[in-house]
Amino acid sequence: MNEEKQLKKYTLILVYILAPFLMSEAKILNIIYYLLLILFIVKVKKTGYKKTGYETGLILFFMGITLGAFFSADILGVIKLFERALRAWMLVVILGQYSFDEKEKNFFLILISVGLLRLLGLGIAEKLGYIQGRYLPRISGGYKLWVYTMWICIYISGVFTLLFFKKKKIELFYLFSIGGLSIYVLMITMSRSSWLAIIGIIVALILIKKSKNGIILLVLSGILTIGILNLKGNEKYLSRVKSIASLKSYSNATRIDMYKYGFEIWEENKFGIGLKQYKYTDKKGKIFYHAHNDYVEILSENGFLGLFGFLILMGLILKNNLKVENKYNIIVFMSFLSMIIYGFFESPIHYPQVQQLLYAGLGVLGYKKWEYKPNVM
């Protein structure tokens, strides 16, 4: 027992170091992942493996990824990408071996917030011209919006979830303020996918918690959004909103072509063509390396087994965390739900930064089969 506590202590230290940088791709972070893996192996050898409840989905998903690699034209490249994906997804298994108390979970959430503030700070500094880079690309003129907007969506999911649990007035004021600011940031990114994801989690929270804070949140979000859309010079935002349902817009028409192309790939390659091998050139000659849809991309790259495994995994995560009436589990539920909705219009699944955050959160905050004790009447 003392050995397990010691291993948990070392694991937790590494997770705390990692937490603010889960959005980063810094190679030095690989050292932390390998140390976590070593501690996991030692722990399993000494005390055995504890089932998390997600093994079925993970195994099926990785079987699909493995088959896709074997039938890929660039098998070595896929293997390299497989290692990056595994690095993120192994977090739920490693962290799922331990039980974390409320203090440890809260400190993890604080460090995640530090990571978000770090990202926003760099983006604002770039916007003001103090530094050069691509920290918040859509705001500063770059690209890769699907990376950071999804990250902010996950953060907002946590903030909004906390609003549905009893809080002091000063805490509610803070959460409403940071929630409003986050919505504003997402508005100026022009990311329609994130807008739809946020609408989805607000509606889900209202249905699940049936709290008056949800109605207040929905009304305030609506007022803020309408206010932004009607500001002078903000016609571009209104046009962007209208384009969501327009099949004639270049963006939507191209997406439909990309989806069709993804299905064509699957029809010719039933086991997929391997991770990150999707490549589409539109009518204007622009090249896309993602399908603008997680499910089409997984099907084309990892076949039906990969897609089936992913859907099983997502279903288990949502089901398991929803049945626990706990704010941490609801945060996990809403975070993954935001990615699931977002994934219909973008491809966040293959970006390590997004996966690192989600699965680290699942491992620390989420449901664990061995730990769960249902209420018995």
DSSP string, 193-258: HHHHHHHHHHHHHHHHH--HHHHHHHHHHHHHHHHHHTSTT-HHHHHHHHGGG-TTSHHHHHHHHH
What pLDDT is recorded for position 376? 45
Integer Cα distance of 84 and 95 in angstroms:
18
**Predicted local confidence at residue 140, as pLDDT:** 41
For the stretch 132-158, pLDDT in tens is 655 555 444 444 444 567 877 888 888
Residue 377's pLDDT is what? 42
pLDDT value of position 206: 79
Per-residue pLDDT, 363: 93
The pLDDT of residue 359 is 92
pLDDT tens per residue across span 248-305 = 777 778 888 889 999 999 998 888 888 888 888 877 788 788 888 899 999 999 999 9
Q: Specify the pLDDT at position 233.
A: 58
**374 confidence band (pLDDT: 50, 70, 90):** low
pTM value > 0.85: yes
Please tell me the least confidently modeled range out of 42-51, 186-195, 207-216, 226-235: 226-235
d(CA 50, CA 56): 14
pLDDT for residue 191: 76
Strand intervals (E) in the chain: 280-281, 287-288
The percentage of the chain sitting over the pLDDT mark of 90, rounded to a whole number, equals: 27
| Residue-level pLDDT at 222 | 66
Higher-confidence position of 208 and 188? 208
The candidate with the shortest Cα–Cα distance to 12, out of 111, 86, 87, is: 111
